[in-house]
Structure 1
């Protein structure tokens, strides 16, 4: 069969024990010759040891065939039977208005002819659907899935393994972690549920099972191992800290369970690395300890509250490590501290090297972000610090970032270059959410709608609007007023990743 390869089994290697030249009188040696032939060699096995001889090294486990029915029928089936009932299929749908003309929804086409939304012409409604998986984590019908599975959905329906189907309400959506929490609508009785395990106890090489609905073919179970932990350079969510597995994960598996051999959820399958769209044995799951925080927030009212550090951290490169006199790159270096923040009150300084969080080593700002963000509010966390030749432990208070001034989020529309952008006033809370420097003031772009004028212009989430047509921007209300009317020319100053960009556009 093309592309099929027979498995190659390793040749058994027997431990060889050298026979001593002289034996004491009570020593008895047995010599067994195997595979003798022309030019053949003999394999010598010593069956007893002479007096005063050094003890033999422990023998390697013997390779053998199964000797009982129980060994022949070893299976993951008991784990699968306990897990499958709590893994659901998630169907999300939304209605969109589609223009009858192929050019009616093109903002550049409409601007060329000098029209606005009224030139769209007749529209027709179209239903878009997405398919994913989810995990029941509470017998009352609470389900966790990926945010991208139900993003912008008007209606969500879930199907259980026993073929029952229910409508579901969206309780919480968290784009930062790409997690969402659903609740079965009108649920009566209890549902099969899985326990969220401790993902910090996972080790590379542990066997795991992935359960979901790949390609919509129906519930599927795949098996593999934990390939790596704490993957931080993946680029999927704000909190870059993933479990990597070689269990086959494909489109439709998103939101499904990654479970250990006890049937506990250790991760939520989220993404794959693929050039073809199919699994090549590199899948990523959000750790259960991050999932637990989001589920707990959903149970407590649907608002996620995370601790605020109030400092900016940078990856330690090989050059920086050399400059600091380190043997290798490790930890995260402090590049800025916000006045009055928990970091400042704890005594953290610019130039400090953060190497651990509550005794757990960290390798970069992303691993720090995960360890710090999963701590509950209240109390303190111990940061291991290197400052020059000193090693310190600083107790940082676990408090929420203040939102002063209020974010006053606004969705801008009309005919300005900002149409389709959502903007918010900057505050410590917003700066922390958007991962912006803590000392910035003004208005930030938090979201840009696909195919909008703002997207066509090139605005992206995280841009800080500094100036519009010579007027410094301080609040979202001010920006909304300035962009409510047409201007012959738009001159805009925007800060992006520490650089100021000057933009000029015709109105």
Structure 2
């Protein structure tokens, strides 16, 4: 019995020691003063406030003009001004004056100013807009003393890593919040075409958009972009655009481009579910299944086939079509990239040429007018470039790029992204052909369109 007690004491002694160790008081002044302040001192000088404004001039209505004439005589009908404003954050990524922010912060804005941490306000030019990633790049006039933030490696992040979010929530001034990486490669967030986000529980609130997510070395690992909230405030679920995509957009701006050119695969992809995985002999449902390959595309030239399952891009695992789109978009538009596929149970590596989608035929943009059902619609010729830009399946026809509010096109239900295939049984080959057909008029308009992969026909009176 005494021996059993001795053994039990020997087993419990290390545990008691460990418990005592976790309860020990700080042994030095340095341990008492553990702080994120050194990280903030590195990163915060590069985080700025972004102010956008758009001045719209509107004329009084006829009824309002009649009111003024009746009570005040004939007064000049001066246009009224309505000012729309936005507020967000941004990050200086180049000491020459390049600032990256969210596209939604400056969307539709015509005047943009940046407030530095030392309270200097500087006018900014919008040099690149990229709605597909919800990013924009601003250029400040030459300004001394700008501090740029170094890019970090978001691929090195792991769930549980500590991160700081720095921005200007609610316009109250620079604010720092701390949290951890809650998830990686988050999709279905809905704020950009490239759904691949860093999730964090660091508090992100309105006004933080465009601010910095930094690691413990004070390096930029993401641009804060969205929150998941029903109330509009932080509930511990925030999303940031990874630094690797931010760098692609910034590099395009550095090169003088007004848009971001991305590589074109030329294939339609779909997710792999359990049923498909079983049929394809995969151990688990992962990868991006090639549903079709377009003619004369980089995919066809590389030997990609229908039924292949893409597993990796340049050695990086691909879990689904969103993951492929993300990895492929980061590769630029020169050279080649190795793509690993599963074909009939065997792994093969193909070399895909990196090139932008061709704009053949030219888009030949037109805004249609007149009394046809298409009046107020802006249309483009279908091409691989347009299909890629608008996230459509490649097909013939004419693509609707925009529909004016209140127009005839809007009233009959035409939408941005619709593909006009035929009119009164006649195939629509180009924007000029559609314009000719619309101007000719008709007593009845029989319109066939493709929307979301479904073909439908509607009849409208002339």
**Residue 484 of structure 1, CA deviation:** 5.3
The structure-2 alpha-carbon separation of the partners of 1:280 and 1:359, relative to structure 1 and needing over 3 Å to count, comes to same
Deviation at 1:242, TM superposition (A): 0.7
How far apart are the structure 2 equivalents of 1:262 and 1:422? 48
**Consecutive unaligned residues in structure 2, runs of 5 or more:** 65-76
Q: CA deviation at 1:377?
A: 2.2
Of 34, 48, 53, the residue aligned with 1:74 is 34
Distance 1:480 1:62, change over 3 A: farther
Q: Note the alpha carbon deviations across 1:311-346, whole angstroms, 9 max, x for none.
A: 110011222223223332100100010112111111
Give the structure 2 partner of residue 160 of structure 1.
116
CA-to-aligned-CA distance 1:382-437 (integer Å, 9 cap, x gap) = 11111112111111111222111111223345554434433211112112222222
Shift in alpha-carbon separation, 1:360–1:78, aligned structure 2, 3 A: same
Among candidates 328, 336, 357, match of residue 372 of structure 1: 328
Aligned partner (choices 401, 406, 425) of residue 381 of structure 2 = 425
Distance 2:354 2:160 in 1: 34
One of 434, 443, 452 as aligned partner of 2:398:
443
Q: In the alignment, does 2:448 pair up with 1:493?
A: yes
Q: CA RMSD in A?
A: 2.7
**Separation in 2 of the partners of 1:400 and 1:96?**
37
Q: TM-score, normalised on structure 1?
A: 0.82
2:54 alignment partner, one of 84, 94, 108: 94
Alignment partner of 1:63 is 2:26 = no
Instruction: Give per-residue Cα distances to partners, 1:466-505, cap 9 Å, x unaligned.
Output: 1234442211223334445876544321111221121233
Name whichever structure is richer in helix by fraction. Answer: 2
Structure 1 residues 170, 123: CA separation in 2 closer, same or farther (over 3 Å shift)? same
The structure 2 residue matched to 1:313, chosen from 269, 274, 281, is: 269
SS in 1 for 2:268: strand
Q: Which secondary structure state, in structure 2, belongs to the residue aligned with residue 441 of structure 1?
A: coil
**2:364 counterpart of 1:405:** no
Deviation, 1:283, is 0.8
Q: Does 1:133 align with 2:89?
A: yes
Deviations 1:210-262 (A, max 9, x none): 11111112211111111111012222211111111111111111111111111
TM-score, structure 2 length as denominator?
0.89
**Residues of 2 paired with 1:322 and 1:20: CA distance?**
58
- How many residues in Structure 1 have an aligned counterpart in Structure 2? 447
> Which residue matches 1:108?
none
Q: Deviations over 1:94-126 (max 9, x none)?
A: 12244645999xxxxxxxxxxxxxxxx985220
- Corresponding residue number in structure 2 for 1:192: 147
Aligned mates of 1:444, 1:191 — CA distance in 2? 44
- Displacement of 1:453 after TM fit? 4.8
In the alignment, the residues of structure 1 paired with residue 20 and residue 400 of structure 2 have an alpha-carbon distance, to the nearest angstrom, of: 62
**Is the counterpart of residue 145 in structure 1 residue 101 in structure 2?**
yes
**Match for 1:124 among 76, 80, 87?**
80
The structure number with the bigger radius of gyration is: 1
Write the distance in 1 (CA, Å) between the matches of 2:61 and 2:425.
39
Unaligned runs of 5+ in 1: 1-17, 23-28, 32-42, 50-55, 105-120
1:271-310 paired onto structure 2 within 5 Å: 271-302=226-257, 303-310=259-266
Structure 1 residues 405, 80: closer, same or farther in 2, change over 3 A? Answer: same
Name the SS for the 2:39 alignment partner. Answer: helix
SS at match of 1:382: strand
Q: CA 1:490–1:98 in structure 2 vs 1: closer, same or farther (change >3 Å)? A: farther
- SS in structure 2 at match of 1:196: coil
How far, CA to CA, are the matches of 1:74 and 1:203 in structure 2?
22
Residues 166-210 of structure 1: per-residue CA shift (max 9 Å, x gap)? 1110101011111111001x3233411101212111111111111
Distance (Å, rounded) in 1 between the aligned partners of 2:30 and 2:253: 44
Alignment check: 8 A CA contact 1:415 1:485 kept = no
SS class of match (2:432): helix
1:453 and 1:169, CA in 2 relative to 1: closer, same or farther beyond 3 A?
Answer: farther
Structure 1 residues 289, 449: closer, same or farther in 2, change over 3 A?
farther
2:218 counterpart (234, 250, 263): 263
Among 125, 130, 134, the residue aligned to 1:169: 125
